[in-house]
Amino acid sequence: MAKKKEIITVPNKQMGRPRFEFTEERLRQIYDLASFMCNKQEIGTIIGCSHDTIERNPKAMEMYRTGVANAKATIRRTQFKIMQQMNSSSMAAWLGKVYLKQDKEDDDDDHKPLPLGDVIDL
């Protein structure tokens, strides 16, 4: 008589790394670190995940973008305060170049000066 083989079942093992959970505390950390202009790689190292994990999570990316925007607004606010409080013409000129594009040359002929021969009879 042939002996019956027993079927052994093995419980399913989870493959790969455990899923990284973005708790409210971690999302707040992302915002705070981005507010100090930390990049995603630095933030990932601090909170314990890769920068790719941050990029794949919509909530994490929203907190990152908001934090960076807050940092940029703080820098601009400080620049304007310096310009006003110190009456700094160099800071005013720099802000004009950056925000008002006052250093770009226009290709439009309407803004170019007339040739000297058109103004004075030579």
Answer whether residue 76 shows pLDDT above 60.
yes
Residue 34 CB-half CA count within 13 A: 22
Torsion angle in degrees (nearest 10) through CA of 104, 107, 112, 117: 140
How far is it, in rounded angstroms, from Cα 66 to Cα 31?
7
Choice between 1 and 60, residue whose per-residue pLDDT is larger: 60
How far is it, in rounded angstroms, from Cα 58 to Cα 36?
20
Single-letter residue type at 47: I
Global pTM value: 0.65
Q: Taking residues 93-108, report their average pLDDT.
A: 74
Share of the chain above pLDDT 90, in %: 43
Outline where the chain has alpha helix (H): 24-35, 40-47, 51-56, 58-85, 89-100, 116-119
Model pLDDT, residue 75: 87
Provide the 10 A C-beta neighbour count for residue 21.
Answer: 8
Answer whether residue 12 shows pLDDT above 90.
no
Residue 34 near residue 64, CB atoms below 8 Å:
yes
